[in-house]
Amino acid sequence: MRSIVLTVLGVCAVTAICLPATAQNAAAPAAPPAPPAAGGTPDAMPFDIPYGTPIGLERAKEVLAAAEAEAKKRNWKMNIAVVDTHGELVHFARMDGAQLASVPISIGKARTAARFRRETRAFYNAFETGHPYVSTLDPTLVASPGGFPLVEGGKLIGAIGCSGGTGDQDAAICKIGAELVK
């Protein structure tokens, strides 16, 4: 009987000593997740589109008309902006009933696509994958889908930006205008 009591006391002692250590290990905070990879070093300069002659008013009207026709077909009320290679406004349309807050957003998307020579979705994707540095690049940068560079003959002539719907709706409308220019 005495050996049973000593065994039980021994088990209790070991449990009492080990239990706090186990609790401390379980409560230890998890290590923070590793930051996302920077993406490596490409062999060629990305988005290296040479600048061409800036888009003129008549061509900007054609691009905007194509985008507006697609928006009307889908019954999406959009603000559509076309800018030159410097990101300066060339032509703009606000469809009836389009969200007023989206006027400067559409211009900002077009300006961002022209100045950075890439679709604005690239900046949106960077934010979404944990790269907040994008916000430090330019205070006027718009990191939202719906801005496309206009590339004609392999050269940047301007950009189109759309706003008023979801990012994917904005991008779908802008893509129609961008595809008109080749």
Domain range for 160:
57-180
Per-residue confidence (pLDDT) for residue 5, from 0 to 100: 47
CATH number (domain holding residue 64): 3.30.450.150
Whether 73 is in a domain gets the answer yes
Are 171 and 145 spatial neighbours (Cβ–Cβ below 8 Å)? Answer: yes
Say if 15 falls within a structural domain.
no
User: pLDDT tens across 5-54, in order?
Assistant: 455 455 555 555 555 554 455 555 565 665 555 667 877 888 889 999 99
Show the CA angle centred on residue 109, arms to residues 123 and 78, nearest 5°: 130
Three-class SS state of 40: coil
Beta carbons within 10 angstroms of residue 121's beta carbon: 21
How many domains does the chain contain in total?
Answer: 1
In this prediction, residue 96 has a pLDDT band, given cuts at 50, 70 and 90, of: very high
At residue 82, the pLDDT reads: 98
**Strand order, beta sheet including 155-163:** 89-94, 79-83, 155-163, 147-152
Domain-located, residue 16 = no
- The amino acid at residue 173 is I
What distance separates the 2 farthest-apart alpha carbons in the chain? 104
Q: Show the tokens assigned to 52.
A: 């061409």
Q: How far apart are CA 175 and CA 162, in angstroms?
A: 10
Which value, in Å, is the radius of gyration of the alpha carbons in the chain? Answer: 28
Number of other CB atoms surrounding residue 13 within 10 Å = 10
- In terms of residues, how long is the chain? 182
**Is 121 inside a domain boundary?**
yes
Residue 135 pairs with which residues in a beta bridge? Answer: none
Q: For residue 30, tell me if it sits in a domain.
A: no
In a domain? residue 162: yes
Answer yes or no: is 28 within a domain. Answer: no
Q: What is the pTM of this model?
A: 0.76
Q: Is 36 helix (H, G, I), strand (E, B) or coil?
A: coil
Q: Does any domain span residue 81?
A: yes
User: How much is the average pLDDT of 126-133?
Assistant: 90
Quick check: helix, strand or coil at residue 90?
strand
Place of tokens 């940047």: 156
